[in-house]
Amino acid sequence: MAGCVFCGIVAGEVPAFRVVDEPDGVAFLDTRPVFKGHVLVVPRAHLVTLADLPPASLPGYFGLVQRLAVAVESGLGAGGTFVAMNNRVSQSVPHLHTHVVPRTKGDGLRGFFWPRTRYSDDAEAQEYAARIAAALAPA
């Protein structure tokens, strides 16, 4: 869809630190992560909310989300992950996306207050994307 930054990333027209690009979806680092290694997973098609995702796409899309949750944890040595999705309200980009955020005990994340951080540079972001990609189990 014209003007959608996530569609631009899927099409390769907008730069992103990609973790994986598969038929069921594309995953890349959030540019304003809650914690470093925060990944966004998007379906290839422009869909706005979870209700728009065709039932036949649910297993593939959420299978990818599940694999990324495992990869974020193992690839970054995180204690766990926080997996979340907004539908319209608080959805900063109107394209269905799932957040996979690395967590550690005592990391300070409370409720739905999501402080944001930044990568020190592109090399650091690329290193996080590569670590998660290397830990990703095959489809």
**Which amino acid, 73?**
E
Could you say which of 38, 95, 97, 99 is catalytic? 97
What residue spans of 4-137 are helical by DSSP H?
5-11, 58-76, 122-135
Query: What are the b/e assignments for 85-117, b being 16+ CB within 10 Å?
Result: ebeeeeeeebbbbbbbbbbeeeeeeeeeebeee
Residue 97 annotated as catalytic: yes
Catalytic residues: 97
